[in-house]
C-alpha cells in the first residue's frame, strides 16, 4: 500500500469511522512515518502512524459520500422549512396582516467567512449560495487569523463573522480545561478578541468561532455569540453555515432562541452552543424590478 499526500484514508485503530485527507507525511524518530490528516467531512486535524492507515478505494468513497449527502439534504430540508415559515411571517408583518399588492424586499445579514481550509471554504460558499446568504469567503491559516481579521472586517463590513478551520484536543498536552492542549483554539480565541476590539456589541457583529473539539468556553468568553465544541466532539464542516443562515434570515426585531439555531445542524448541542442573539434580517418596501426603469 502506497499512501501519498492528497489520498483519502481512514484509521484502522478507530475502525475507519472517519475519512481524512492526507496533508503531510513526516519522518520522526527511528524512521517512523507520521501522517498529518485533515477530516474530510468534520473539522478535525489529526496525526497517525503510517501503518495505522488504510487507503479508501473509489467504491467506498462513493458510498460514504452518498450517505453524507443524505444527511446534508435532510438538514437542508429542515432549514428550508424554517426559512419558508420566517418568510411567511415577515410578509404578514410587512403588510400589517392585510392583503397587499405591494412587493417587499429583504436584506439578510452579510457574512464574512474566514476558513483555515480552502476545500471546506469552497463547500461552505456553495451552501451559502444555495441558501441565499450574501457572503465573502477568505482562506487564511489559523495562526494568521488574529493579525488579519481587523483589516478584513474593515474591508468587508460584515454583519456576521465566521472564524473556523481545523482544531483538535490532545490529552498528552494537558487537561480539557487547558487552552494549551488544543491545536488552534488559542488562535480562534485571539481572533475573536481582535474582532471585538473593532465591534464590541454582540448584536452589531455576530461571531461564530471554532472547529472540531475546540475549547468552547474560551471562545464564548472572548466574545463569540456561537462556538464549538461544548462536549469536545467533532463538528461537521458545514455546521457554521446553518447557524449563521438562521441568524441572517431572522428579523432584527426578534431574538434567536439558541436551540432553534442548533436543532437543524448536523452536530447538535454536543458540538455547538451559544448565547441569545438578535436576528439580522431587514424587510423593506416597495420593491421595484430594475426592468421597470428601462
The predicted-structure confidence for 129-147, as pLDDT tens digits, reads as follows 988 899 999 999 999 999 9
Q: Is the pLDDT of residue 294 over 60?
A: no
Q: Is the pLDDT of residue 283 over 90?
A: no
3-state secondary structure of 11: strand
38: phi then psi, degrees, rounded to nearest 5: -115, 130
pLDDT at 28: 78
Q: Is the pLDDT of residue 94 over 80?
A: no
Residues 210/229, Cβ–Cβ less than 8 Å: yes
Instruction: Report the C-alpha gap between 258 and 181 in whole angstroms.
Output: 28
The predicted-structure confidence for 156-170, as pLDDT tens digits, reads as follows 999 999 999 999 999
42 versus 270: the higher-pLDDT residue is: 270
pLDDT at 30: 72
The domain locations on the chain are 8-56, 71-89+103-284
Instruction: Report the C-alpha gap between 83 and 197 in whole angstroms.
Output: 32
The predicted-structure confidence for 52-84, as pLDDT tens digits, reads as follows 999 998 888 888 888 878 877 777 777 777 766
For residue 282, give Cα distances in angstroms to 36, 105, 132, 167, 247. 44, 9, 15, 35, 12
Instruction: Report the C-alpha gap between 28 and 17 in whole angstroms.
Output: 26
Instruction: Report the C-alpha gap between 215 and 188 in whole angstroms.
Output: 9
Q: Where are the beta strands (DSSP E) in 165-281?
A: 206-209, 226-227, 255-256, 273-274, 277-278
pLDDT at 141: 96
Angle at 264 between CA 184 and CA 229, to 5 degrees: 20
Please give the CATH topology (third level) of the domain spanning 71-89+103-284: Rossmann fold (3.40.50)
Pick from 20, 14, 3: which is nearest to 166 by CA?
20
Task: Annotate 36-59 with DSSP letters as a single string.
Answer: EEEESSB-BEEEEEGGGEEEPPHH
Amino acid at each position: 500500500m502506497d499512501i501519498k499526500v492528497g489520498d483519502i484514508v481512514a484509521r484502522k485503530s478507530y475502525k475507519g469511522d472517519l475519512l481524512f485527507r492526507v496533508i503531510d507525511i513526516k519522518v520522526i524518530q527511528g524512521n517512523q512515518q507520521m501522517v498529518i490528516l485533515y477530516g474530510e467531512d468534520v473539522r478535525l486535524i489529526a496525526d497517525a502512524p503510517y501503518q495505522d492507515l488504510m487507503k479508501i478505494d473509489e467504491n467506498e468513497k462513493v458510498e460514504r459520500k452518498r450517505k453524507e449527502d443524505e444527511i446534508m439534504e435532510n438538514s437542508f430540508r429542515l432549514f428550508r422549512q424554517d426559512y419558508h415559515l420566517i418568510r411567511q411571517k415577515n410578509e404578514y408583518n410587512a403588510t400589517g396582516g392585510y392583503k397587499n399588492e405591494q412587493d417587499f424586499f429583504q436584506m439578510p445579514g452579510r457574512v464574512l467567512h474566514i476558513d483555515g481550509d480552502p476545500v471546506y471554504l469552497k463547500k461552505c460558499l456553495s451552501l451559502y449560495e444555495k441558501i441565499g446568504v450574501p457572503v465573502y469567503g477568505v482562506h487564511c491559516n489559523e495562526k494568521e487569523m488574529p493579525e488579519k481579521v481587523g483589516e478584513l472586517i474593515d474591508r468587508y463590513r460584515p454583519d456576521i463573522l465566521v472564524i473556523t478551520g481545523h482544531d483538535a484536543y490532545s490529552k498528552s498536552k494537558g487537561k480539557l480545561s487547558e487552552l494549551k492542549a488544543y491545536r488552534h483554539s488559542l488562535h480562534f480565541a485571539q481572533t475573536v478578541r481582535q474582532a471585538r476590539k473593532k465591534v464590541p456589541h454582540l448584536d452589531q457583529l455576530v461571531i461564530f468561532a471554532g472547529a472540531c473539539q475546540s475549547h468552547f468556553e474560551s471562545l464564548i468568553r472572548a466574545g463569540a455569540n456561537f462556538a464549538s465544541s461544548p462536549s469536545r466532539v467533532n463538528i461537521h464542516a458545514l455546521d457554521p453555515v446553518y447557524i449563521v443562515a438562521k441568524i441572517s434570515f431572522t428579523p432584527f426585531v426578534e431574538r434567536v432562541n439558541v436551540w432553534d439555531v442548533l436543532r437543524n445542524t448536523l452536530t447538535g448541542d454536543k458540538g455547538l452552543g451559544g448565547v441569545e442573539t438578535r436576528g439580522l434580517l431587514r424587510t423593506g418596501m416597495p420593491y421595484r424590478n430594475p426592468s421597470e426603469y428601462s
